Amino acid sequence: MESGIIREIVKKLVGPIDPVGETNEDNRRFENLKTMTELVDLLLTDIDYVTLENAHRVEYSMKRAGEFASKFFDQIGIVE
């Protein structure tokens, strides 16, 4: 499945996260923001696991996945 489609589905499931200046609506959106950041943290943890478990493997496919995940963290500025 294309990542853009998954992103749109997640955004619809979680709901809007950007504040609009109305207290009640912004309270709901803040809860959505907390949900979204928790999800991103869980996803990053999953990717980090792939890095830690596979980057130094000798099996080509496992090493490839681990190195790819490691490079992703480098690209977004997360250093181990």
Look at residue 78 in the predicted model and tell me its pLDDT: 86
pTM value? 0.88
Q: Which two tokens stand for residue 12?
A: 């619809």
The identity of residue 8, as a single letter, is: E
User: How far is the C-alpha of 51 from the C-alpha of 16, rounded, in Å?
Assistant: 31
Each residue of 7-48: pLDDT tens digit?
Answer: 999 999 999 999 999 999 999 999 999 999 999 999 999 999
Give Cα separations from 52 to 32, 41, 44 (angstroms).
30, 16, 12
